[in-house]
Amino acid sequence: MPTTRAARETEISNSILKHWHEAVPNDRMAHLVKDATRSFLRSLQVRLREHGVPLGQWTFLRILWERDGITQRELSKEAGLMEPTTVVALRAMEELGYITRERLPENRKNIYVHLTTKGKALKKKLVPLAEEVNALAVRGLKASDVETTRRCLLVMLDNLARDEALDQSDE
């Protein structure tokens, strides 16, 4: 009997929980953050799927809702993806009517990405789904614990960014 997608996702979640609670409760922070991220993304992906939006498109929509009209290259960089990956996703988004892409007559090199009315309207439908996932994740935590976690993660990001900058300056 084939496993349903929901059953498979539950199986993955249970495996991760067992790993952290029983097998290696003191494993490295990086692994815990990675698994938490995967869980966030799986939870969001299930909700986005109900609206026909793949998780990969969510990344680009979020950026464009904040900075509509940026170049494909800027969008790719901000999403942290290679340009060919971005092009494939944008073609699909264009076919769905979420975006348009255009070259300006004075600069034929750059391709600018703009949300359509349909793409802009998705924000009202999809952002609440992400907010729901966040609320679900912090359910049962005190506000002060959530704030401490955010502060700690930001310090970790700052530390790792400084380390990356040092590595790049050595090149």
97 within a domain of the structure (yes/no): yes
Domain span holding position 64:
53-122
- Of 105, 122, 139, the residue that ends a domain is 122
The pLDDT of residue 21 is: 52
In a domain, 74, yes or no: yes
What's the CA gap between 82 and 69, in Å, rounded? 19
* pLDDT band for position 9 (cuts 50, 70, 90): low
Kindly state whether residue 167 falls inside one of the protein's structural domains: no
143 part of a folded domain: no
Number of domains in the chain: 2
Q: Give pTM, 2 decimals.
A: 0.76
86-133 pLDDT, tens per residue?
Answer: 999 999 999 999 999 999 888 778 999 999 999 999 999 999 999 999
Mean pLDDT of the chain: 88
Q: 3-class DSSP state for residue 27?
A: coil
**Residue 100 is part of a domain; what is its CATH number?**
1.10.10.10
